[in-house]
């Protein structure tokens, strides 16, 4: 079988060129209409079109060159490295992880706690807003939502495409109850969670017998129903106008963040008047909520109900014959997941000060689900990484002013958000088909928790 | 210890939609017995096993376990009466480790006996001990079968139902598994009801056996009697001896 190496080398190059041209042709076909031609309205409000051959050429070139490099250089390189590793007998997971690896969670937690302080020190209160609010809080909200959905999808294996409904229930619960009854955030937060959990059970009942694609479609419809109710029940929800002027969260009822209030928090602390302090406070609130979610998830996985969720994902029939009540198991999964969605929703409402049905469209469900899948269903760490990459990445796009120099002044990077989102997903799924952290952490051990040898727990691709 | 009836299936009819899979089945299993059920593909053997467990439920007739009518009980409550099953196709949890699979078989609300029971199963199937932290899905077929039986045993069952424990396994492994069943029966007094295609091995192991054809029991007797029966030999044994 061994052929001369220069022979395979030239064969490889020929193949790389061929595949590169092929990829270019496909990209040309795909983007010809989307990118090559643009429609716009002229001064007389007529719809006319113009061509963008330059941009199209860039797309085609990127695809062709990318494919060429992948086939010709990157893939052989990776294969060679894998081969060398296999030859030297090093296991994929080595026993002695680096310091960073071992203490990753502690380091991450400390970094998160110091993050707002660091950004205030570096950029001043006003300058820190962007980092604390746009990046910090935004990402943490998605971490929390994805961790909540993870209970339903990642642990219990119930594909839920309408998760945003519970987010909406939480947000509107807070908005309406605080506006109509003047209740505080700290009372309404648990209440919003409970209300969302109730809706989780209400959704759970009719879909108990459904699985997989059927379940996905019904949950999708449920998400849309909630949104349409919010739009059309104008007496209560004010429809598409949304509800504004939602009360801010207080510091446990002791200090407030309303400038007019006598116990205005920054004044009490002797800080300059700035909206940044409120955002920093909110950052710690959502961080705490995330930690609660993680803690509860980790605890539940070691309790009968959590084990039952995971067993349900693996094999429902086996579960039943082992004496597991699958009805109760599914309902608790829906309810628990929904509850965290509700928490996140009421937090979202107090952070924005405004809610409208537009925040709860299907795309949100899809993004949250994508984060769960990318992270590796079930893995909290993986999901957090995925949230940072996906949400942080899209926020970063807004910052990329320099792209205008390349693509012209009309280029708005945010519009390519979804394109990049999809691209990132494809790339991750190609190289890590089980998500960032694809292996499941076992929860049962005999005697003390010993380090499980890596070669056994590493799963094959399936 | 033998003699007392543990499981009594009386005139049971089970339907899949409009198709009648069981057409009035009568089967009895006494305490401390190994009873086997043999029959051609599609005879309704697995259906009977599943009907005992309540999924699907019998449309008519009765399933009585330990003197109690369990015909209309939901599956998970039947399992809590300590009827454990190693279902057709084993159905272990592929992404869970061997130990986690065993834990799923135990009473999750009370893991007091967990360690003790796991040790017992590791004595019975030493292979599982070696592989306790391996994922179920990566086990070999024989190991999966051991795990499936082990998982069922974790419930400390009064009655163990086994659906084709020898399916797809090499003769030597089958021998080992049947040996383990015999040991459980003799040393622990465990009552076993098993379905088998491997009629020769099953009849040799069993105290009594039933033959099922098209959803009906057509013959029954002691294992020895059926082994000697010319009809049984012609239909299930000739050419199929292991
Ligand atoms: N879920 C189902 N829906 C409809 N028909 C079914 C279903 N399960 C089994 N059947 C039918 O019921 C009959 C009995 O099936 P069963 O699985 O009990 O046979 P079996 O004796 O276990 O066969 P084998 O030895 O092949 O496992 C078959 O005709 C089968 O096609
Ligand atoms: Mg069968």
What is the residue extent of each domain of chain B? Answer: 1-82+158-175+187-242, 91-157
CA nearest A153: which of A344, A312, A339? A312
Give A103's pLDDT tier (boundaries 50, 70, 90). Answer: confident
Which A residues in the span 26-65 are in contact with B, Cβ-Cβ below 8 Å? none
Average pLDDT value for chain A: 82
- Mean pLDDT throughout A188-196? 93
- Residue A42 or B99, more confident: B99
Give the span between the Cα atoms of A344 and B155, in whole angstroms. 40
Residue B45 in contact with ligand 1 by CB distance below 6 A = yes
Nearest chain B Cα distance for residue A270, angstroms: 53
- In this model, does residue A452 exceed pLDDT 60? no
Residue nearest to atom 31 of ligand 1 (CA): B42
Give per-residue pLDDT as tens, A215-247: 889 889 999 999 999 989 888 888 888 888 887
The pLDDT of residue B235: 84
Give A414's pLDDT tier (boundaries 50, 70, 90). Answer: low
The two tokens of residue A103 are 């203490």
Question: What are the sequence ranges of the domains in chain A?
Answer: 4-88, 113-456
A442 near B CB under 8 A: yes
Nearest chain B Cα distance for residue A226, angstroms: 33
- Ligand number, closest to the Cα atom of B14: 1
- DSSP of chain B: --SSEEEEEEEEEEEETTEEEEEEEEEEEETT-EEEEEE-TTSSHHHHHHHHTTSSPPSEEEEEETTEE-TTS-HHHHHHTTEEEE-TT----TTSBHHHHHHHHS-TT--TTHHHHHHHHHHH-HHHHHTTTSBGGGS-HHHHHHHHHHHHHTT--SEEEEE-TTTT--HHHHHHHHHHHHHHHHHH--EEEEEES-HHHHHHH-SEEEEEETTEEEEEEEHHHHHH-HHHIIIIITT---
- In this model, does residue A213 exceed pLDDT 90? no
The pLDDT of residue B222: 92
- Any idea what DSSP says for residue A446? S
Name the β-bridge partners of B160: B84, B192
- In this model, does residue A194 exceed pLDDT 90? yes
- In this model, does residue A459 exceed pLDDT 60? no
- In this model, does residue A453 exceed pLDDT 50? no
Name the β-bridge partners of B13: B23, B60
Give A121's pLDDT tier (boundaries 50, 70, 90). Answer: confident
- In this model, does residue A93 exceed pLDDT 50? no
Q: Which CATH architecture is the domain B1-82+158-175+187-242 placed in? A: 3-Layer(aba) Sandwich (3.40)
Residue in chain A nearest B119 by alpha carbon: A446
Candidate from A23-27, A120-124, A348-352, B117-121 with smallest mean pLDDT: A120-124
Question: What are the Cα distances from residue A274, in Å, to A57, A121, A264, A363, A434?
Answer: 48, 15, 11, 33, 44
- Residue B37 or A379, more confident: B37
Angle between helix A304-314 and B98-105 (nearest 10): 110
What's the gap in Å between B110 CA and the centre of ligand 2? 33
- Mean pLDDT throughout A430-456? 63
**Closest in B53, B97, B118 to A442, CB measured:** B97
Note whether A446 contacts B55, CB cutoff 8 Å: no
- Mean pLDDT throughout A8-24? 85
Candidate from A216-220, A256-260, A344-348, B72-76 with smallest mean pLDDT: A256-260
Candidate from A76-80, A193-197, B62-66, B153-157 with smallest mean pLDDT: A76-80
By the 8 A CB rule, do B49 and B111 touch? no
The two tokens of residue A231 are 């739009």
- In this model, does residue A253 exceed pLDDT 50? yes
- In this model, does residue A450 exceed pLDDT 60? no
The pLDDT of residue A88: 66
- In this model, does residue B48 exceed pLDDT 80? yes
- Mean pLDDT throughout A385-396? 85
**Fold adopted by A113-456:** ABC transporter involved in vitamin B12 uptake, BtuC (1.10.3470)
Contacts of residue A324 in chain B, CB cutoff 8 Å? 76, 104, 108
**Closest in B55, B85, B133 to A456, CB measured:** B133
Give B239's pLDDT tier (boundaries 50, 70, 90). Answer: low
What's the gap in Å between B229 CA and the centre of ligand 2? 23
**Closest in A325, A446, A457 to B135, CB measured:** A457
- In this model, does residue A457 exceed pLDDT 80? no
- Mean pLDDT throughout B142-160? 93
Residues B32-47: b if buried by 16+ CB within 10 A, e if exposed: bbbbbbbbeeebbbbb
Residue in chain A nearest B102 by alpha carbon: A444
Angle between helix A138-150 and A362-375 (nearest 10): 80
- In this model, does residue A94 exceed pLDDT 70? no
Share of chain B above pLDDT 90, in %: 71
Give A438's pLDDT tier (boundaries 50, 70, 90). Answer: low
- In this model, does residue B33 exceed pLDDT 70? yes
Rounded to the nearest 5°, which phi and psi values hold at A303? -105, 165
**Closest in A304, A325, A456 to B134, CB measured:** A456
- Ligand 1 test: best mutation among B41, B44, B50, most atoms within 8 Å of CB? B44
Share of chain A above pLDDT 90, in %: 24
The pLDDT of residue A419: 76
Nearest chain A Cα distance for residue B220, angstroms: 27
- Mean pLDDT throughout A379-396? 86
Residue in chain A nearest B87 by alpha carbon: A318
Residue in chain A nearest B135 by alpha carbon: A457
By the 8 A CB rule, do A428 and A436 touch? yes
- In this model, does residue B242 exceed pLDDT 60? no
Residue B39 in contact with ligand 1 by CB distance below 6 A = yes
- Mean pLDDT throughout A321-326? 88
- Mean pLDDT throughout B143-160? 93
Candidate from A36-40, A94-98, B48-52 with smallest mean pLDDT: A94-98
Share of chain B above pLDDT 70, in %: 97
Chain B interface, mutation test: which of A326, A440, A444, most B Cβ atoms within 10 Å?
A444
- pTM equals 0.80
Give A5's pLDDT tier (boundaries 50, 70, 90). Answer: low
- In this model, does residue A458 exceed pLDDT 60? no
The pLDDT of residue A98: 60
Note whether B133 contacts A457, CB cutoff 8 Å: yes
The pLDDT of residue A456: 40
- In this model, does residue B49 exceed pLDDT 70? yes
What's the gap in Å between B42 CA and the centre of ligand 1? 5
- In this model, does residue A2 exceed pLDDT 60? no
- In this model, does residue A449 exceed pLDDT 50? no
């Amino acid at each position: 079988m061994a052929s001369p190496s220069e022979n395979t080398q030239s064969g490889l190059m020929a193949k790389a060129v061929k595949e590169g041209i092929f990829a270019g042709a496909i990209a040309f076909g795909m983007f010809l209409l989307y990118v090559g031609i643009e429609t716009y309205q002229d001064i007389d409000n007529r719809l006319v079109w113009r061509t963008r051959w330059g941009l199209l050429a860039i797309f085609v070139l990127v695809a062709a060159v990318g494919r060429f490099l992948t086939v010709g250089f990157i893939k052989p390189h990776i294969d060679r490295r894998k081969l060398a590793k296999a030859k030297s007998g090093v296991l994929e997971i080595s026993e002695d992880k680096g310091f960073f690896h071992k203490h990753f969670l502690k380091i991450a937690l400390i970094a998160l706690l110091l993050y707002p302080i660091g950004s205030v020190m570096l950029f001043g209160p006003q300058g820190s807003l962007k980092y604390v609010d746009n990046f910090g809080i935004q990402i943490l909200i998605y971490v929390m939502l994805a961790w909540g959905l993870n209970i339903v999808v990642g642990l219990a294996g119930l594909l839920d495409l309408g998760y945003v409904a519970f987010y909406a229930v939480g947000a509107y619960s807070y908005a309406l109850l605080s506006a109509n009854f003047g209740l505080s955030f700290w009372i309404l937060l648990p209440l919003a969670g409970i209300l969302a959990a109730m809706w989780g059970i209400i959704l759970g009942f009719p879909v108990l017998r459904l699985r997989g694609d059927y379940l996905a479609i019904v949950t999708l419809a449920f998400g849309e129903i909630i949104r349409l109710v919010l739009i059309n029940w104008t007496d209560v929800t004010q429809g598409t106008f949304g509800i504004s002027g939602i009360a801010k969260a207080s510091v446990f009822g002791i200090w407030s963040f309303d400038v007019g209030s006598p116990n205005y928090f920054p004044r009490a602390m002797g800080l300059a008047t700035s909206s940044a302090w409120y955002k920093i406070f909110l950052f710690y609130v959502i961080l705490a909520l995330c930690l609660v979610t993680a803690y509860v998830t980790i605890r539940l996985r070691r309790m009968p109900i959590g084990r039952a969720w995971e067993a349900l994902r693996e094999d429902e029939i086996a579960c039943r014959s082992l004496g597991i009540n699958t009805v109760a198991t599914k309902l608790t999964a829906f309810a628990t997941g929904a509850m965290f969605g509700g928490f996140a929703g009421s937090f979202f409402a107090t952070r924005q000060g405004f809610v409208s049905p537009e925040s709860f469209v299907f795309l949100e469900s899809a993004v949250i689900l994508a984060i769960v899948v990318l992270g590796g269903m079930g893995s909290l760490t993986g999901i957090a990484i995925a949230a940072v990459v996906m949400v942080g990445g899209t926020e970063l796009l807004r910052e990329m002013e320099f792209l205008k120099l390349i693509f012209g002044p009309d280029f708005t990077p945010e519009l390519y958000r979804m394109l990049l989102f999809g691209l990132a997903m494809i790339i991750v799924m190609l190289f890590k088909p089980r998500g960032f952290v694809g292996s499941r952490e076992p929860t049962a051990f005999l005697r003390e928790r010993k380090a499980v040898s890596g070669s056994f727990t590493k799963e094959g691709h399936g | 210890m033998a003699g007392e009836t543990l499981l009594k299936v009386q005139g049971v009819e089970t339907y899949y939609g409009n198709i009648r899979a069981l057409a009035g089945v009568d089967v009895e299993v006494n305490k401390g017995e190994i009873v086997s059920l043999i029959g051609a593909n599609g005879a309704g053997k697995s259906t009977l096993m599943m009907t005992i467990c309540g999924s699907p439920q019998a449309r008519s007739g009765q399933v009585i376990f330990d003197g109690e009518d369990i015909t209309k009980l939901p599956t998970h409550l039947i399992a809590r009466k300590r009827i454990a099953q190693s279902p057709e196709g084993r159905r272990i949890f592929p992404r869970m480790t061997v130990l986690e699979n065993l834990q799923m078989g135990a009473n999750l609300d009370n893991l007091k006996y967990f360690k003790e029971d796991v040790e017992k199963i590791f004595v019975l199937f030493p292979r599982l001990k070696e592989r306790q932290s391996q994922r179920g899905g990566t086990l070999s077929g024989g190991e999966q079968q051991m795990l499936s039986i082990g998982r069922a045993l974790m419930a400390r069952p009064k009655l163990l139902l086994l659906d084709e424990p020898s399916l797809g396994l090499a003769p030597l492994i089958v021998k080992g598994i049947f040996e383990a069943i015999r040991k459980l029966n003799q040393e622990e007094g465990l009552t076993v009801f098993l379905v088998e295609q491997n009629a020769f091995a099953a009849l040799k192991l069993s105290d009594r056996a039933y033959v099922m054809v098209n959803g009906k029991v057509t013959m029954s007797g002691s294992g020895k009697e059926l082994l000697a029966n010319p009809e049984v030999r012609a239909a299930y044994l000739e050419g199929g001896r292991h």
